[in-house]
Amino acid sequence: MKHLYPFLLLSTLVAAPLAHAQAPAVAAPTVTPASLPPQPPDVAAPKMDPNTGQPQARFMATHEKFVAIAKEGKAQVVFLGDSITAGWAGGGKEVWDKSFGQWNPANFGIGGDRTQHVLWRIENGELDGIKPKVAAIMIGTNNTGGDSVEAIASGVTKIVTTVRAKLPTTQILLLAVFPRGGKPDGKLGAGYEKIKEINSIIAKLDDKKTVHYLDIGDKFIQGKDALSAEIMPDFLHLSPAGYQIWADAIIPKLNELTK
């Protein structure tokens, strides 16, 4: 597994005493990995704990669990993503078991993940030993607060190309970033316009051969430009009804790609 040697080296160098020919040494402030600028969306990075400056313990433990599942080599369909994907094990569990059980699916979703984190995970063992028929990817919403459209699309692209390189016989189902509400009433705001721009770029990754782009976002929108609290209680994460919509929308494609 890769580690943060560049970060540790930087911390060591910066923490070293600064000497002047005629003045006493003055120690420079210590720089921890957590205080360094975040990695660009297309650069692999583990999730960091701001209190310790080390990789987040829960993130690492979950990652190791996924690595172990991958090594078993049983899953025929793998889902990669953030908390929306992780929610299949929560509110979406009943729908998950009923809809995908035939493929012995693996849920590799971690809450709060950005493209950097998913990229790090798949570069560090989560795709080793496994040869699924389909890898379903939906990631990017957690990048929208601070990264540009182009940078986020670049991160998604890097994930797709990395999956293709590691799993050359696996079909990739690339899902558009889901819509999210910017207001208490679920009305879609400027953030959704950004998501649409991201999706317009990553849609071009569809090559009709091994990468298949699918935008199901409109299925979550009820009425005029609004999200229903029955589908997305916080206008971001899905309810069981939302997960049913997701499953119903992709099962035909999964049936096609798993033949």
Q: Which residues are catalytic?
A: 83, 234, 237
Q: How many beta carbons lie within 10 A of that of residue 40, not counting itself?
A: 16
Taking CB atoms within 8 Å and a gap of at least 24, the contacts of 11-18 are: 11/53
Q: How, if at all, do strands 171-175 and 106-109 pair?
A: unpaired
> Which DSSP state fits 38?
P
DSSP H or E run through 49: none
What phi and psi values does residue 175 have, to the nearest 5 degrees? -90, 140
> Which DSSP state fits 208?
S
DSSP H or E run through 16: none
